[in-house]
Chain A
């Protein structure tokens, strides 16, 4: 009887396999695909390089105060101070505000479309939600300032009257217009479609048998939703939410219309009529900026870019951790 380990026969030489493309058309196809992939990475790299190149001077001059300070003075050429603390915090505050408002709406809409609606209604609802994503942000901004602001300011006033004892809803400034709360709503309207569409996709991929199992165990629809559907889809939903967060952070024109930009940092007073947003600040200042100031604005763009990258990275980590059963 021959034993595998004791075999004296030499191991045969490795043979050529068709793992790599050998047909001409395959080579061309691979080449094009690879070029596109490398190109995409290359473009991101070039943008980053340009941002770094243009920002370098500002960052070196202003140091860490660029991120944490609250002053912006371009008037005195001898002593220009560029600090974006309130804008940076404002961008985050508005984005989180938008996400908190958008997520329940988006999940509810996705649940309705996927589990409650008849197929005809589901089609209509999907189209309407997708249409919402197609509205240009300038139009949303105009609607926001002309139609929505008075309404939302009234909601903010009600919150202040009834829940004003909470730090979140106090308003010492008195004005309810131009607040992060209103900007948050505007952002929410803009990110509901993306979160809904990702969540709907996740829901549609759920194993119907797992949901049926819950039903067969005597679960009501709501407890099936809370204890089976949501936990099973959480990773994917977080992914969708972070996609929305990325869009919320970068949103420019619509926020520019509804937000009252202020270099006095507004930590949590979301219904007070002042706030910050890096993107809106860039739009607001760019037209009349001195060359020095333009560099500072580009540096602000770099900071926003880095934060968005960090959030995407965080998204990947959370999605991976939220689904330990997926190998």
Chain B
């Protein structure tokens, strides 16, 4: 499938995160087949495709969140800076420190204040000796929410609006200083204004980190991403990548007919 892709255009850029022949099962059900994608440094990659095509599942294999589902099976390799994160000696919690994640629904810790939420990752992973004030400000600034919350850092995180909560969740992830951030439809629960702000944040963040974003919104994929992978699962077969390449190519000159149909809204 991936030989149809435009990936050749990207091979000159340094690979940061790479998947090789990733296959996923839930129990006996084979849901993803041979997904090989390259996520270069400081690039935003959008994963698009209809519901149930396995794009969110694939995203979760990238930081080993996938294996929290008891029936989950996995084959293939995920390489971060050339090292396979599924090697037996690798601690999954360390993988997740390097590869942060933002979820579909804003999920700040309800018992914690705004400030505590930003610092929660550091506390949860048992880190010590950090400058809390500095980390809180830097992380909130990078998530472009600092100005809105700087005077109310002690307020409960749940007092924020949905869009603000989502940016707080991004800040919480950034506080861990990850190399990669995975975003699973981060705007699907938000209004257009909040969506635009998150997209701006993604753009700013991409200057310093590698971002992988699952989105249902084709315009969003075009606005924020440098490269796009189109996932599809046909007729009960496991999902896979139909086409992968520069975003403008995938949307404007797709090689595969199915990609063309999907990006032009003919199905999905």
Contact = CB atoms under 8 A, between A and B. Distances in A.
Q: Do A and B bind each other?
A: yes
Interface string B70-94: 1000000000000000000000011
A213 B109 contact: yes
B120 A212 contact: no
Contacts of A324: 156
A217 B120 contact: yes
Contacts of B173: 216-217
Interface residues of B, number: 30
Interface in A180-216: 207, 209-210, 212-216
Interface residues of A, number: 22
Interface of B: 63, 65, 68, 70, 93-94, 96-97, 100-101, 103-105, 107-111, 120-121, 123-126, 156, 158, 169, 172-173, 176
A215 B68 contact: yes
A220 interface: yes
Nearest to A116: B70
A227 B107 contact: no
Which 3 residue pairs spanning A and B have beta carbons closest together? A219-B124, A217-B121, A216-B101
Most buried by A among B63, B70, B93, B172: B93
B123 A227 contact: yes
A224 B124 contact: yes
Given A209-B103, A325-B156, A215 B109 contact: no
B93 A212 contact: no
B175 to A, nearest CB: 9
24 contacts: A118-B70, A209-B104, A210-B107, A210-B110, A212-B65, A213-B107, A213-B169, A214-B120, A215-B96, A216-B103, A217-B97, A217-B120, A217-B172, A217-B173, A218-B93, A218-B97, A218-B121, A218-B124, A218-B125, A218-B176, A228-B111, A228-B124, A325-B111, A325-B156
A223 interface: yes
A223 B109 CA distance: 14
Nearest to A227: B124
Contacts of A224: 124
B65 A210 contact: no
Among B70, B94, B107, B121, the most chain A Cβ lie within 10 Å of the Cβ of B107
A117 B169 CA distance: 30
Contacts of B110: 207, 210, 232, 325
Contacts of A118: 70
B111 A217 contact: no
A232 B124 contact: no
B152 to A, nearest CB: 15
Nearest to B94: A218
A42 interface: no
Contacts of B172: 213, 217
A211 to B, nearest CB: 9
Nearest to A223: B124
B100 A217 contact: yes
